[in-house]
Structure 1
Amino acid sequence: DFSEGLARVKVGNKWGFIKEEGGVVIPPQFDEVYDFSEGLAVVKIGNKYRYIDKEGGFVFNIEFEWAQSFSGGQARVKFGDKYFEINKEGKIITQGREDLFPVKIGDKYGYIDISFNIRIEPQFDEACDFREDLAAVKIKDKWGYINKEGEIKIKPRFAGCLSFSEGLAAVSEFDKKWGYINKDGKYEIQPKFDMAMDFSGDRAEVKIGLTRYYINRNGEIIKEIIDIEHEEI
């Protein structure tokens, strides 16, 4: 079947494209090909996916682990261990996220920019999104925080942590409760909670025992959270 004036053709074990008037327009050279959509087609070479135009030229100098045909000006791709939505320029659609993204390359995590350039070399055992210009990363069994240059700003010492929100991050050191640190790594609210969530505005949800509360930025309880069970009528 022809799509946008071109159809897939297989010669031997390679794929290319022919035009409706007849004749090969893109010689068979790919291991897999998909129909053209919005002027571009996904092709597979070995175990990598790329996009070509109707002359058979590669667009975007990027190889993906998987790629989807374009629809509505965007497509879903896999790079490293992560899925992204890209636009027709081959750039990541950020969807409100900051402009560096954690990906696993080999057996370590690093960070790429919206054009899939590696900005922070893979060196971490786990890595989270940047929020408020800092990202939580894991080195061996400890979590800390880096800046967008890849420099460690808060030394890894935590068993668990959340991203920064409203200038504070919930953290838990080994064998300790959860508390909140500032961007200098100093405690603003001492560890005393069994669970702690992000601050939203001037309050955050925490748990002491089995009871959930809202606290203020001084760590003071301002309200107990009561779950209201609705009986079936």
Structure 2
Amino acid sequence: MMKKKLIVIIFLVVFCLGLTSCSSKQAKSDAAIDFTSISKNAADVITDQSPINNEELKWKWVVEAGKYDELSFVDANWIAVKGGNGKYKVINTQGESVLPNEYDQIDGFYDGVAMVGLDGKSSYIDKKGRSITDKWYQSADPFSEARGAVQQNNKWGYINQSGELIIQPRFEEVKSFIGNRAAVKLAGSWGFIDNSGHMVVKPQYDQVEEYSEGMAAVQLDDKWGFVNSDGNLITTLEYDQVKDFHEGYAAVMNNNKWGFIDTHGQVSVDLKYDDVGNFSEGKAAVKVAGYTEDGDAWAYIDYDGNIVIDFYPYNASEGLMIEVGEFKNGLAFVSKDLYCIIDSKGSNIFSGDSKFYISAFYYDNPFNVIPGYIFTDENMTVRKYGLMGLHAEQRLAPIFDFIGEMNGPYATVINVENGIEKKGIIEIYN
């Protein structure tokens, strides 16, 4: 597991080269795929989930593949599209132009405002396409907590949603506002300001992370600690590495051993593990190297450090990355040679015994879909992507050359023609 996932995903694409099963599945050699005979896992869905819809989904084009050179969602129902002239505009999911002005770049809307780029300069527009300011800045970042960071004359400041420069550009570097705090760099050191520009934590650190759950990681002389929202250290600067707070606990490392501290800076789980994940739904993954003669193993612990899902040698087939994921709605993605799904007790929900293979660590509960692919040739080199259900039932026939995560009822797909990737967007429905 890597330090700091955020959130990010945009999405994970999985390339299966050497295939075994989640519990020693043999490679399949079905050259001709019968899409009506996808095998199902007998495991029942966990009791706290809503009833699952297993009916085959239908789909239709929202944006046909290849109509635009590039496309991406900038809001729930708005799509930035790039035409042959190299400029972006915004259309809705009915294909109608909603922002006809063309830009070199359009980012997503945050707080009702989107950053746009034109001729090497940056500015912002609202959802009516109106510029919130008549100024074009050297650079700009997306809005967060009603503040947008802008660069002018090599210095950074912040504007509000009315386009007013409310924190004058005077900082060398800045980060986004989170929890009414933003990290800023002045005279080579980092500190924090509040949303009025008042210095809450004076610049004194070599590195800082953004606030998470009211705490921010700070580093000085290669040692890390945490400050609270008032800027007071809750622990001395003593750790070699740290991760953000999640559910009231942060992972910390010294001498290559990981443990956890609480919001008072007290060690809650001893530093004895070789790697750890973040807490999610009351559980965190922890690793012990050389747990058996065959190699490493991972377990899940609770807040008190008790083992709640026993150690298991989560491995990955050649070409895959090892995954021991965080829990969401009682489910976590893990690698047992192939990618599988476990419940909060560690039991398999999806064991990999299917013609579908998981291609993104993403489950959409309302639609009961997971992006996945099958092999359509005997040598297992040609993939076709569709959507599978939680128990590997086919939800959308695998006919695309790639399919990404869902954005509500929409998904980005790719078809390859003559070696050229052509992107499109589909809408799925029952």
TM-score category (smaller protein): 0.5 to 0.7
The structure with the greater share of residues assigned to strand is 1
What does residue 302 of structure 2 align with?
Answer: 182
TM-score by length of 2: 0.36
Task: Give 1:201 shift.
Answer: 1.4
Would you say 1:87 and 2:195 are equivalent positions?
A: yes
Aligned equivalents of 1:207, 1:90: Cα separation in 2: 45
Aligned equivalents of 2:218, 2:273: Cα separation in 1: 22
Residues 81, 104 of structure 1: 8 Å contact kept: no
Aligned equivalents of 1:38, 1:163: Cα separation in 2: 36
**Identity over aligned pairs, percent:** 25
Residue ranges of structure 2 left out of the alignment (5+ in a row): 1-153, 158-164, 175-179, 202-208, 291-295, 316-322, 359-371, 374-384, 386-399, 402-415, 418-430
Aligned equivalents of 2:302, 2:156: Cα separation in 1: 52
SS of the residue corresponding to residue 198 of structure 1 reads coil
What does residue 196 of structure 1 align with?
Answer: 324
Matches within 5 A, 1:121-140: 121-140=236-255
SS of the residue corresponding to residue 236 of structure 2 reads strand
Change (3 A) 1:202 1:83: farther
What does residue 153 of structure 1 align with?
Answer: 268
Residue ranges of structure 1 left out of the alignment (5+ in a row): 1-32, 43-48, 50-65
Residues 76, 86 of structure 1: 8 Å contact kept: no
- State the AA in 2 paired with 1:215: I
Matches within 5 A, 1:109-128: 109-128=224-243
SS of the residue corresponding to residue 325 of structure 2 reads strand
Aligned equivalents of 1:117, 1:134: Cα separation in 2: 17
Q: CA RMSD for the aligned pairs?
A: 3.5
User: What are the superposed Cα offsets for residues 103-145 of structure 1, whole Å, 9 maximum, x if unpaired?
Assistant: 1111200101224332321000101111111110001110000
1:216 to 322, 343, 349: 343
SS of the residue corresponding to residue 178 of structure 1 reads strand
Residues 155, 173 of structure 2: 8 Å contact kept: no
TM-score by length of 1: 0.63
Aligned equivalents of 2:287, 2:156: Cα separation in 1: 51
Task: Give 1:169 shift.
Answer: 0.2
Aligned equivalents of 2:215, 2:329: Cα separation in 1: 25
Aligned equivalents of 1:34, 1:166: Cα separation in 2: 41
Change (3 A) 1:35 1:187: closer
- State the AA in 2 paired with 1:97: S
Would you say 1:207 and 2:207 are equivalent positions?
A: no
- State the AA in 1 paired with 2:265: G
Query: How many residues matched?
Result: 175
Matches within 5 A, 1:48-63: none
Aligned equivalents of 1:107, 1:123: Cα separation in 2: 9
Change (3 A) 1:139 1:74: closer
Moved more, 172-181 or 161-170: 172-181
Aligned equivalents of 1:35, 1:133: Cα separation in 2: 32
Aligned equivalents of 1:133, 1:161: Cα separation in 2: 15
- State the AA in 2 paired with 1:165: S
What does residue 55 of structure 1 align with?
Answer: none
